[in-house]
Chain A
Amino acid sequence: MSRIQSVFATLKQQGKTALIPYITAGDPHPKHTVNLLHTLVKHGADMIELGVPFSDPMADGPVIQRASERALAHKVGLTAVLAMVKEFRQTNQTTPIILMGYANPIEAIGAMAFADRAKAADVDGVITVDYPPEECGEFVKELRARDIDPVFLLSPTTEPERVDLIVKQASGFVYYVSLKGVTGAANLDIIEVTKRVASIRGQTSLPVGVGFGIRDAATAKATAAIADAVVVGSRMVQVIEASTDENLLSNVAKLMDELKTAVDAA
């Protein structure tokens, strides 16, 4: 059983929903990333999505674009991100780390070499925004051969037949993107999301995470009531962006405490 699967199994026994914060590796500065990861865990992160900076983040809104630019200004690429995960693992062997990013940094080193290096760094899952299942069969095989979960996104425009195709490739969990558009956009329509999550559950036994549009305790709580995992990205990055070196960790801790309380109360 992968680390992601066992976390979901444990939470299920406890009747709880996973809280998954997202941060971009290297944002606001590479020196903070490992400390941030530990802070997230200490304040309730069940798993962490760690963004791999990319020069052309086409599916991201301005908040996460800026995070990528801040990280790239310090030359944080995929190699540096894997080193950060390795460092984090020196003192944490339990919290799953899911890399989230775009195809080209993976293409640059090759699917097999990437899978080897991700395994060596003890990465648990990979979300590749612009690798739809039709285009990444080989990549998925390489990941699964190493017990790394390929996590796929489902969107409001994904038809049921396609959900079938995607869940066959996915493991760990599936990630329902709760609205059309880029990260950080608009508000979430909880009634619509509830309907879609129920329909996805009819097609797979994989846990269903929900993200996009969750920005406070209220939306986190509402989402936690229907999902197996709640992903908070742009809101987290906004707090990081607005912080100084001195209050960065405490600001992140404060947001995490609010979200954790809300998710646990659902």
Chain B
Amino acid sequence: MQLYDMPDARGHFGQFGGTFVAETLVEALEDLRIMYEKYRHDPEFLAEYAYDLKHFVGRPSPIYHAKRLSDKIGGAQIYLKREDLNHTGAHKINNTIGQALLAKRMGKPRVIAETGAGQHGVATATIAARLGLECVVYMGSEDVKRQAPNVFRMKLLGATVVPVESGSKTLKDALNEAMRDWVTNVHNTFYIIGTVAGPHPYPMMVRDFQAVIGIEAKEQMMEMVGRQPDAIVACVGGGSNAMGIFYPYIDVPNVRLIGVEAGGLGMETGQHAAPLTANSPVGVLHGNRTYLMQDADGNIIETHSISAGLDYPGVGPEHAWLKDIKRAEYVAITDDEAMAAFHNLCRTEGIIPALESSHALAHAEKMAKTMHKDQIILVNLSGRGDKDINTVAKLANITL
């Protein structure tokens, strides 16, 4: 039985979450909330969603025992939930399918999305192509430059990619621009948000669509080892892959839930994207209240991470809540630590992980060393690293 019952009817997780938007969007969010309530338990909707997850995405994603890695570290056994094996290469597709099916039912012929590294943009463009929806993706112009292959993938899939020139020209600005589009075109447009942030019902809805990760893991762990892991580790930018694997485990006792934020150049430098670890103040951005990296005047400060997908100044409101009630723990891993874990997995297991997921791997390695050989850490390997090879090559001064 699920005892944990969050958010409340208006999307609050304690003091976090909510619906902090301009008046023009209130009605659209109310429509979305009603439609989601209507379909979230609708057998036909759920069957269509499950069908696509199985036949289009290739779910269930396996759990893999990283034995050589575990032996090399010499502590707890590390298991990987292989979201990197999904169609499009990351967990993002679980959510875009759910939202796109909802868009179709709401009669919206046009979908928009924001993207940082481009994974959510690609996942949105993919499902839009599959369902015949017009697709516009907003992407910071800095990210457009850094992630050229993903920009091209989106274009191949028929999407329009709009470079965003305002602010820091990264993920948060792409989100601002997508919101502006939505305010203007709310009559025919569905905004597919990629993470567990934004105004209610997005944090709840995205969590629910990603919860398939944890639901599968629970069954798979029983089949593989006859018990649940001692700890689950996942990276947190906005926090959708982490919420997806954490959520079904919230009521399971004795399973530690650990979110790994981007420590960038080190917490002491201020050049990071780890609002939870840094104990940043609470504020309001992108429609919800949460911990936010900001200056004394309440302006959002620029973040840094080697991984574009974690480079976000806020965090999903449910993570803020789980931190406050101490159900989940949050730590940070630096760029260098993540890079080392990236190479380690490549060489010991033959898996190239995304730089985002490498943060979770790095922390799992640290933890494993302090644990017994019969203990288990389950890492959510949220994406594959093919998209990151240019970044990694550049760091090593290699021209591809």
Assess the B10–A134 pair: CB atoms within 8 A.
Answer: yes
Please report the C-alpha to C-alpha distance between residue A11 and residue B180 in the assembled complex, in whole angstroms.
35
- The stretch from B46-54, B258-266, B279-287, B366-374 touching chain A is B279-287
B303-314 to A contact mask, C-beta < 8 Å, 1/0:
000000000000
Which of B180, B283, B297, B299 is packed against the most chain A CB atoms within 10 Å?
B297
Residues in A lying within 8 Å of B, measured CB to CB: 53-62, 65, 69, 72, 77-79, 102-109, 129-132, 134-135, 152-159, 162, 166, 177, 180-182, 185
Please report the C-alpha to C-alpha distance between residue A62 and residue B166 in the assembled complex, in whole angstroms.
8
A232 CB to closest chain B CB, in angstroms? 19
Assess the B183–A77 pair: CB atoms within 8 A.
Answer: no
Assess the A108–B296 pair: CB atoms within 8 A.
Answer: yes
Contact of A58 among B27, B180, B186, B294 (CB under 8 A): B180
**Residues of chain A with a CB closer than 8 A to B294's CB:** 104, 108
Is residue B61 within 8 Å, beta carbon to beta carbon, of the partner chain?
no
Assess the B299–A177 pair: CB atoms within 8 A.
Answer: no
**Residues of chain B with a CB closer than 8 A to A134's CB:** 10, 19
Contact of A130 among B21, B27, B296, B299 (CB under 8 A): B21
Assess the A79–B19 pair: CB atoms within 8 A.
Answer: no
Please report the C-alpha to C-alpha distance between residue A69 and residue B183 in the assembled complex, in whole angstroms.
21
B72 CB to closest chain A CB, in angstroms? 44
Is residue B354 within 8 Å, beta carbon to beta carbon, of the partner chain?
no
Assess the A135–B281 pair: CB atoms within 8 A.
Answer: no
Assess the B285–A56 pair: CB atoms within 8 A.
Answer: yes
**Residues of chain B with a CB closer than 8 A to A58's CB:** 22, 176, 179-180, 286
Is residue B393 within 8 Å, beta carbon to beta carbon, of the partner chain?
no
Assess the A158–B26 pair: CB atoms within 8 A.
Answer: yes
Which of A56, A134, A185 is packed against the most chain B CB atoms within 10 Å?
A56
A-B contact pairs, 28 of them (CB 8 A): A54-B299, A55-B299, A56-B172, A59-B22, A69-B167, A77-B296, A104-B284, A104-B294, A107-B284, A108-B281, A108-B294, A130-B22, A132-B19, A132-B26, A134-B19, A152-B23, A154-B23, A155-B22, A155-B23, A157-B28, A158-B23, A162-B27, A166-B23, A177-B23, A180-B184, A180-B186, A181-B184, A182-B180
Assess the A130–B184 pair: CB atoms within 8 A.
Answer: no
Is residue B132 within 8 Å, beta carbon to beta carbon, of the partner chain?
no
Please report the C-alpha to C-alpha distance between residue A42 and residue B79 in the assembled complex, in whole angstroms.
72
Assess the A107–B23 pair: CB atoms within 8 A.
Answer: no
Assess the A157–B283 pair: CB atoms within 8 A.
Answer: no
Residues in B lying within 8 Å of A, measured CB to CB: 10, 18-24, 26-28, 166-167, 172-173, 176, 179-180, 183-184, 186-187, 281-287, 289, 292, 294-301
Please report the C-alpha to C-alpha distance between residue A172 and residue B126 in the assembled complex, in whole angstroms.
49
Please report the C-alpha to C-alpha distance between residue A166 and residue B19 in the assembled complex, in whole angstroms.
15
Interface secondary structure of B, over-half rule: mixed
On whether A104 and B283 interact (CB within 8 A), knowing A55-B299, A78-B297, A180-B184, the answer reads yes
**Residues of chain A with a CB closer than 8 A to B286's CB:** 56, 58
Please report the C-alpha to C-alpha distance between residue A107 and residue B299 in the assembled complex, in whole angstroms.
11
**Which 7 A/B pairs are nearest by Cβ-Cβ distance?**
A77-B297, A108-B298, A105-B298, A181-B184, A55-B299, A103-B284, A155-B24
Please report the C-alpha to C-alpha distance between residue A131 and residue B179 in the assembled complex, in whole angstroms.
16
Please report the C-alpha to C-alpha distance between residue A108 and residue B176 in the assembled complex, in whole angstroms.
20
Assess the B285–A104 pair: CB atoms within 8 A.
Answer: yes
Please report the C-alpha to C-alpha distance between residue A62 and residue B300 in the assembled complex, in whole angstroms.
18
**Residues of chain A with a CB closer than 8 A to B28's CB:** 157
A58 CB to closest chain B CB, in angstroms? 5
Please report the C-alpha to C-alpha distance between residue A60 and residue B167 in the assembled complex, in whole angstroms.
13
A212 CB to closest chain B CB, in angstroms? 10
Please report the C-alpha to C-alpha distance between residue A238 and residue B119 in the assembled complex, in whole angstroms.
37
On whether A159 and B183 interact (CB within 8 A), knowing A58-B176, A130-B21, A134-B10, the answer reads no
Please report the C-alpha to C-alpha distance between residue A49 and residue B296 in the assembled complex, in whole angstroms.
23
On whether A131 and B298 interact (CB within 8 A), knowing A58-B286, A157-B26, the answer reads no
Please report the C-alpha to C-alpha distance between residue A172 and residue B18 in the assembled complex, in whole angstroms.
26
Closest chain B residue, CB of each to CB of A107: B283
A201 CB to closest chain B CB, in angstroms? 18
**Residues of chain A with a CB closer than 8 A to B166's CB:** 62, 65, 69
Closest chain A residue, CB of each to CB of B26: A132
Assess the B298–A159 pair: CB atoms within 8 A.
Answer: no
Assess the B282–A107 pair: CB atoms within 8 A.
Answer: yes
On whether A180 and B183 interact (CB within 8 A), knowing A56-B176, A107-B284, the answer reads yes
Assess the A153–B297 pair: CB atoms within 8 A.
Answer: no
Please report the C-alpha to C-alpha distance between residue A78 and residue B298 in the assembled complex, in whole angstroms.
8
**Residues of chain A with a CB closer than 8 A to B281's CB:** 108
**Residues of chain B with a CB closer than 8 A to A65's CB:** 166
Contacts A56-B285, A78-B298, A103-B20 known; list 10 others, CB within 8 Å: A57-B176, A58-B180, A103-B283, A105-B299, A108-B281, A162-B27, A177-B24, A180-B187, A181-B184, A182-B180
Please report the C-alpha to C-alpha distance between residue A96 and residue B97 in the assembled complex, in whole angstroms.
50
**Residues of chain A with a CB closer than 8 A to B20's CB:** 103, 130-132, 135
Closest chain A residue, CB of each to CB of B289: A107
Assess the B172–A180 pair: CB atoms within 8 A.
Answer: no
Closest chain A residue, CB of each to CB of B21: A130
Assess the B172–A129 pair: CB atoms within 8 A.
Answer: no
Closest chain B residue, CB of each to CB of A79: B297
**Residues of chain A with a CB closer than 8 A to B285's CB:** 56, 104
Please report the C-alpha to C-alpha distance between residue A54 and residue B23 in the assembled complex, in whole angstroms.
18
B239 CB to closest chain A CB, in angstroms? 19
